[in-house]
Copies of this chain bind each other. A is one copy, B any other.
Amino acid sequence: MLAEIITIGDEILIGQTVDTNSAWLGEHLNRYGIEVIQITSINDKKTSIINALQDAEKRADVILITGGLGPTKDDITKKVLADYFGAKLITHEGALENIKDIFHRRGREVLQINVDQALVPDNCEVILNSKGTAPGMYFEEKGKIYVSMPGVPYEMKAMMEQVVFEKLNTLGDNYTIVHETITVVGVPESHLSVAIESVEDNLPPHVKLAYLPHLNLVRLRLSAKSAEHTADELKIDINTAFDQIKSIIGDVWFDGDHNLPEIVGDLLKTHKKTIGTIESCSGGFVAHSLTAVAGSSAYYKGSLLTYAYETKVAIAGIDQVMLNEYGAVSEQVCEAMAHNAKAKLEIDYCISTTGIAGPGGGTADKPVGLVFIGLAKPDGTIEVKRCEFHGTRIQIIERTAYTALDMVRKAIDSSTQMAML
């Protein structure tokens, strides 16, 4: 079964909103065996909406529409859908109750434009909005399925999870689909692809490999899709390819769609170890990456963000003489930061970062992108890595965090292997 996603809203075309909904929908539809054939973003004009619907009908069985359901005048999706299907707008009592409920709970008055949000075309099945005021709409017309949902990501996601996936699931093809993603850190995409060319060339025809480079890691997506194989058989095909890649590259792993902070978190939990950070150039981004993971309080204890020179001295007890001699961006200071913060925070692993994120502040000696990353470990040793990152300020901050987290992953991995010897 093929789907097309239509996102409606001037704000996407003029770039004031990044469309994150489509990525989420694409990922989740895939798991239900529904392939997204196209994502189309258009403006809030009636002709654009109608043209997009007509084009999508030529390609897809299911058309998922997000956006244009707000209470304000620039939102016209509902009226256009009613016209398109020759339906008329009627008030849906359940949707109205929901709107009144929300405003009462927030202690706000219900205005006429809020009441009007309960109007829906009379040919749709209403999808109640558990997170906001605009109801969703499910249509079966012309042998196709159309679903119209709000553009607010968590409202749309709740509707998909509570109602839409289940309805679509009963309509799916008999294809079996299995995806796995492998993470490889520190090997450039082109070198990786040459190294594993023989694996790629010998994949069974129903297994595909794609490269997803992101900062200093590459994710390899292995997808198997077949009407003739069981899920278990497809998993074996994927595992075979993985084993072949691992025998060539060595340090790779199935990430289970978990990102690096989640993987590091799982390792820390399994090994009952705690972590914290002392950050200069990364300004809290390593700590944020760790604490963005639900349940991170089981292993993350705290951080010292010592951005200014004087804070490094006052909060982290870095020796002023050492700072003067080597500078804040140096191996020596990076090591001292990790050492001191590990003791102060009373943690097992302590990440330290100091560098020049730019765009200003670089010198010939210490250019923008020069970053030292330290890791103090449970056995008392401290590893310091000198990195030269390129990219924007944000990219340098992100690369610092990824590299630091990968150092933790490797350290725990190798400590496990030591213990097993």
What's the nearest-Cβ distance from chain B to residue A12, in Å? 7
Question: A307 touching B302 by the CB < 8 A rule?
Answer: yes
A395 to B48, CA, bound (A): 32
A358 to B285, CA, bound (A): 19
A181 sits at the interface (CB 8 A)? yes
Knowing A19-B19, A28-B15, A190-B111 touch, does A303 contact B291 (C-beta < 8 A)? no
| A378 within 8 Å of B (CB atoms) | no
Size of interface on A: residues with Cβ below 8 Å to B: 105
Copies of this chain = 2
Contact with B along A70-92 (1 / 0, CB 8 A): 11111000000000000000000
Q: Please state if B285 and A210 are interface contacts (CB–CB under 8 Å).
A: no
Cβ-defined contact, A308 with B302, below 8 A: yes
Q: Are B72 and A191 in contact (CB under 8 A)?
A: no
A70: chain B residues at CB < 8 Å are 189-190, 211, 213
Q: Is the CB of B294 within 8 A of A283?
A: no
- Complex contact A154–B40 (CB within 8 A): no
**Residues in chain B near residue A305, CB distance under 8 A:** 276-277, 284, 287, 302-305
Does the CB pair A284–B288 fall under 8 Å? yes
Give residues of chain A (284-298) contacting chain B, Cβ–Cβ below 8 Å. 284-288, 290-292, 294-297
Which chain B positions have C-beta within 8 A of A131? Answer: 390
A224-B379 Cα distance, complex, nearest whole Å: 64
Beta-carbon contact of A291 and B284 below 8 Å: yes
1/0 contact string of A1-29 vs chain B (CB within 8 Å): 00000000011111111111011111110
Contact A194 B113 (CB under 8 A): yes
**Complex Cα gap A392–B161 (Å):** 14
- Residue of B191, B286, B300 near A307 (CB, 8 A) is B300
Given contacts A14-B27, A41-B22, whether A189 and B72 have CB atoms under 8 Å apart is: yes
**Distance of A46 from chain B, by nearest CB (Å):** 14
Is B14 touching A190 in the complex (CB atoms < 8 A)?
no
Interface residues in A45-76 (C-beta closer than 8 Å to B): 48, 52, 55, 70-74
- Shortest Cβ gap from A331 to chain B (Å): 21
Q: What is the CB-to-nearest-CB distance from A110 to chain B, in angstroms, rounded to a whole number?
A: 9
Is A71 a contact of B40 with CB atoms below 8 Å? no
Cβ distance A2 to chain B, nearest Cβ, rounded Å? 11
Pick from A30-38, A137-145, A229-237, A406-414 the stretch touching chain B.
A30-38
B-side contacts of A287, CB under 8 Å: 283-284, 287, 305
5 chain-A/chain-B pairs, Cβ below 8 angstroms: A12-B39, A279-B284, A301-B308, A304-B304, A304-B305
A residues lining the B interface (CB < 8 Å): 10-20, 22-28, 30, 35-43, 48, 52, 55, 70-74, 106, 108, 111, 113-114, 131, 133, 152, 154, 179, 181, 188-191, 193-194, 200, 209-213, 219, 221, 223, 276-277, 279, 283-288, 290-292, 294-297, 300-308, 310-311, 314-315, 344-346, 358-361, 390-395, 397
Given A276-B311, A301-B310, 7 more A-B residue pairs with CB atoms under 8 Å apart are A18-B19, A37-B42, A283-B288, A285-B288, A297-B308, A301-B308, A314-B346
